[in-house]
């Protein structure tokens, strides 16, 4: 299984791609400009026309930028889009963006979608958005889950994610840095709240419970540029894993650059050196 983070932050947006060698790739979120997205895909030897499907987690702009255009990404390249009912009500009724309705697919928490040989399971998550979802993508070589933009990890969600081979997991902020950030108090309260974003400590606690010997790789995502640092986040999660006696590959997704994970790592290295 190959996974790439095209961008991972509130500031630069979020978009992730999953593919297996014999299958077309699928995209999770599209919170980047079309220009950046096309450039990132080209760096992977792909174009937007290769994308088999797009799954949207929620309507916040750092996840949907390439949908909120006069000629949105899926319309331009004819890509089916899967999102929650709440998302589509927002997108189609309130924003008035135009998209071919044959591309619109409603997916609900607990539902499994089969596309291009992948099984994609949606799950709901506590975040201040309209019916927000996370996704587990299962291929023939493993499963990857995308767990970001959530204020806490409810126990049933931890149970669902337990033992997933590849974890893309939010580690948004260090609580002390957030409190000392000088940001407006309502924003701080939102980020720290039960429907906001996961702190490093919350991520570390949750990961230490849901990772198992089957967990191959953990990528910490959606780090705040102002209120976190890769070193602080990695240290917190590493110590949680150590307590649990686990040592999967652990890294941080760069906020605004392409990075490749899973078996795709080897592909990107060989491309870079050829």
Q: Measured from the CB atom, is 7 or 215 closer to Zn ion?
A: 7
Shortest approach of Zn ion to residue 215 CB, angstroms? 23
Does residue 221 contact residue 171 with C-beta atoms inside 8 Å? yes
Shortest approach of Zn ion to residue 55 CB, angstroms? 15
* Dist. CA 133–CA 56, nearest whole Å: 8
Does residue 228 contact residue 261 with C-beta atoms inside 8 Å? no
Shortest approach of Zn ion to residue 271 CB, angstroms? 29
Q: Residue 165 interacts with Zn ion (CB under 5 A)?
A: no
Tokens of 126: 């506590």
Q: Is 62 helix (H, G, I), strand (E, B) or coil?
A: helix
Q: Measured from the CB atom, is 216 or 222 closer to Zn ion?
A: 222
Q: Residue 149 interacts with Zn ion (CB under 5 A)?
A: yes
Q: Which of residues 18-47 bind Zn ion (CB under 5 A)?
A: none
Q: Residue 100, CB half-sphere, CA atoms under 13 Å: how many? A: 11
Q: Residue 65 interacts with Zn ion (CB under 5 A)?
A: no
Q: Measured from the CB atom, is 31 or 142 closer to Zn ion?
A: 31
State the CB neighbour count (10 A cutoff) for residue 199. Answer: 27
State the CB neighbour count (10 A cutoff) for residue 155. Answer: 10
How is 25-55 classified by DSSP, letter by letter? -EEE---S-HHHHHHHHHHTT--GGG--EEE
Q: Is 254 exposed, middle or buried (0-12, 13-18, 19+ CB in 10 A)?
A: middle
The torsion of the CA quartet 219, 224, 229, 233, rounded to 10 degrees, works out to -40
Q: Which residues of 11-47 are buried (b: 16+ CB within 10 A; e: fewer)?
A: ebbbbbbbbbeeebbbbbbbbbebebbbebbebbebe
Segment contacting Zn ion by CB under 5 A, of 58-66, 205-213, 233-241, 245-253 = 58-66
Shortest approach of Zn ion to residue 267 CB, angstroms? 27
Segment contacting Zn ion by CB under 5 A, of 32-40, 142-150, 230-238, 242-250 = 142-150
Pick from 62, 170, 174, 178: which binds Zn ion (CB under 5 A)? 62
Number of residues that bind Zn ion (CB under 5 A): 3
Pick from 36, 60, 143, 173: which binds Zn ion (CB under 5 A)? 60
Shortest approach of Zn ion to residue 242 CB, angstroms? 29
Segment contacting Zn ion by CB under 5 A, of 55-63, 65-73, 83-91, 250-258 = 55-63
Segment contacting Zn ion by CB under 5 A, of 36-44, 60-68, 169-177, 232-240 = 60-68
Segment contacting Zn ion by CB under 5 A, of 22-30, 57-65, 160-168, 234-242 = 57-65
Shortest approach of Zn ion to residue 101 CB, angstroms? 26
Q: Measured from the CB atom, is 207 or 223 closer to Zn ion?
A: 223
Question: Interface residues with Zn ion (CB under 5 A)?
Answer: 60, 62, 149
């Amino acid at each position: 299984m190959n996974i790439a983070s095209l961008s991972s932050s509130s500031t630069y947006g979020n978009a992730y791609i999953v593919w297996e060698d014999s299958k077309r790739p699928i995209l999770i979120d599209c919170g980047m400009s079309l220009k950046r997205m096309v450039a990132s895909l080209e760096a992977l030897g792909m174009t937007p026309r290769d994308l088999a499907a797009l799954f949207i987690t929620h309507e916040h702009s750092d996840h949907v930028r390439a949908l909120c255009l006069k000629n949105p990404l899926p319309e331009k390249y004819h890509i089916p889009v899967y999102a929650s009912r709440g998302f589509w009500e927002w997108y189609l009724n309130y924003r008035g963006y135009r998209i071919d309705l044959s591309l619109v697919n409603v997916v609900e928490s607990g539902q499994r979608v089969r596309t291009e040989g992948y099984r994609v399971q949606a799950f709901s998550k506590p975040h201040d958005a309209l019916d927000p979802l996370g996704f587990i993508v299962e291929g023939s070589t493993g499963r990857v889950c995308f767990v970001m933009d959530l204020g806490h990890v409810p126990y049933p969600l931890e149970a669902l994610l337990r033992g997933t081979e590849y974890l893309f997991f939010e580690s948004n902020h260090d609580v002390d840095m957030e409190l000392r950030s000088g940001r407006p108090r309502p924003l701080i309260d939102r980020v720290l709240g039960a429907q906001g974003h996961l702190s490093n400590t919350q991520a570390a606690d949750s990961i230490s419970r849901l990772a198992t010997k089957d967990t191959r790789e953990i990528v910490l995502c959606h780090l705040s540029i102002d209120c976190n640092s890769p070193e602080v986040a990695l240290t917190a999660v590493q110590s949680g894993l150590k307590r649990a006696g686990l040592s999967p590959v652990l890294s941080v997704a760069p906020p605004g650059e392409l990075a490749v994970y899973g078996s795709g790592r080897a592909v990107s290295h060989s491309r870079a050196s050829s």
